[in-house]
Amino acid sequence: MTTPCIITVAITGSVPRKENNPAVPITVVEQVESTQAAFEAGATLAHCHVRNDDGSTTSDPEKFGRLLEGLRKHCPGMIVQFSTGGRSGQGAERGGMIALRPEMASLATGSCNFPLRIYENPPELIRMLADLMREHDVKPEIEVFDLSMLYQAIALSDEGVIGKPLHVQFVFGVKNALPVSRDALEFFVGQLAKLAPGATWTGAGIGRDQITLNRWSLELGGHCRTGLEDNVRWDAETLAPSNAALVARVAELCGEYGRRPATVAEARALLSLPEAGWGGGRRAWASAKACVAFLERRFCSRLDRHGSPPPNPPPSRGRAFWLCDRARSLRAATHPSKGNGFR
C-alpha cells in the first residue's frame, strides 16, 4: 500500500511581494482566503508567515493569532504550522507566537548562507525555540538547508530536546545553500531512515525547482511542499495563478507516481499528531491563556497612561473578559471616531 502524500502549502513567506505576483496573500484576510482555496485543492498543512499591511515581515503574535483563528474556522482540521524563520524577527521574538499552540512550527537546527545574508541560528536560540515548542505541545518541522542541520536535529532528538518521531524538510535551491541534487536528496533520506527510524520527510524546491522536488519526493516516498512562498511562477512565461493552482498541480502529479493526496486524518496520523478536535478543549484553553497574556502586554501599560491605575482584574477566566472590556473603554476614549470595536 502506497503512502498518501501530505501536501504543504507555503502561502506567503517573507520575500515575495505583490510586485512579484499579485496573487501573493499579504493581509490576514487574503491569507485565510488563499489557504482555504488551497485546502479545498488538496493541501492538508499550511506553512504560515505573517506580514505587516505594507508587506514588510513581522513575527507579531496578534497577526498570527488572527490567522490561526481564521484557518481553524475555514479550513477545519488542517494542520497549521507557524514559521520561526529569521527574516521576520530576532532572537526570542522569533518564538513569540508559539504560545498560540499551532500544531507545528518550523525549526532550523543550524546556520547557513542565504543569497545575501547569513541565516543565523545559534545553538542557544535553537534550544530556546525547541523548549518553547515542547512546552506548548507544538511539533517541530526540522528545516534542513545543510547536511549538518540533519545531524544536529538527530542529536537534539536523541537528547530529548526535540520529540520523536522527527519530521524533516529538506530545502534545495536556496542560493549559497544546498544545490538541487538528486544524489544529495537520496543520501539525506537514507541517513534519516538509518539514524531516525520512523521519521517523515518533505522535499522543498525553490523557484523552477519546486516541481523537480515535488517529483523526486513523490517517487522516493516523501511528502511535497508547494506554494507562492517558494515559487511565484507557473512556468518560465507565466505567473502562478494562486496557491490553490500550485497545490492542484501537485495533487494531480501524485497519480503519476501511484499516490494520492493525504486526507486531514491521514496527514495527522502520518505526523503523529492528534486527530482534529482531539484534546481541543486543552489546546483552546492554552490558546486562550496565551491571548490573555498578549492582551495584558498590549493594553495594560496603555491603561496606566490614560487615567488612574486600573483596579486589580479578576482571576482566571474572568481576566480575559476584564481585559477586553478595559481595552474597549480605552479605544473609545482615545479614538472616539472608531468606537470600541476591534478589527
The identity of residue 299, as a single letter, is F
Euclidean distance between CA atoms 299 and 295, whole angstroms: 6
Euclidean distance between CA atoms 167 and 89, whole angstroms: 24
Q: What is the pLDDT of residue 339?
A: 42
Q: List the domains of the chain with CATH numbers.
A: 7-278 (3.20.20.70), 281-338 (no CATH)
Supply 129's cell numbers: 525555540
Q: Give the contacts of 148 (CB within 8 A, at least 6 positions apart).
A: 110
Q: What is the pLDDT of residue 87?
A: 75
Which range, 45-49, 89-93, 315-319, is most confident? 45-49
**pLDDT tens digits for range 163-188:** 999 999 999 999 999 999 999 999 99
Euclidean distance between CA atoms 125 and 183, whole angstroms: 31
Q: Is the pLDDT of residue 282 over 70?
A: no
Euclidean distance between CA atoms 38 and 336, whole angstroms: 40
Euclidean distance between CA atoms 129 and 106, whole angstroms: 9
DSSP string across 146-182: SHHHHHHHHHHHHHTSS-SS-EEEEEE--TTS----H
- DSSP at 142: E
**pLDDT tens digits for range 210-268:** 999 999 999 999 999 999 999 999 999 999 999 999 999 999 999 999 999 999 999 99
Q: Is the pLDDT of residue 319 over 60?
A: no
**Mean pLDDT on 133-154:** 97
DSSP string across 306-318: SSSPPPPPPSTHH
Q: CA angle, 158 as apex, 157 and 160 as ends, to 5°?
A: 65
Q: What is the pLDDT of residue 296?
A: 54
Q: Are 23 and 228 in contact (CB under 8 A)?
A: yes
**pLDDT tens digits for range 122-140:** 999 999 999 999 999 999 9
Q: What is the pLDDT of residue 289?
A: 52
Q: Give the contacts of 48 (CB within 8 A, at least 6 positions apart).
A: 11, 12, 31, 35, 64, 67, 71, 80, 81, 82, 83, 102
Length of the chain: 343
**Mean pLDDT on 102-130:** 96
Q: Is the pLDDT of residue 204 over 50?
A: yes
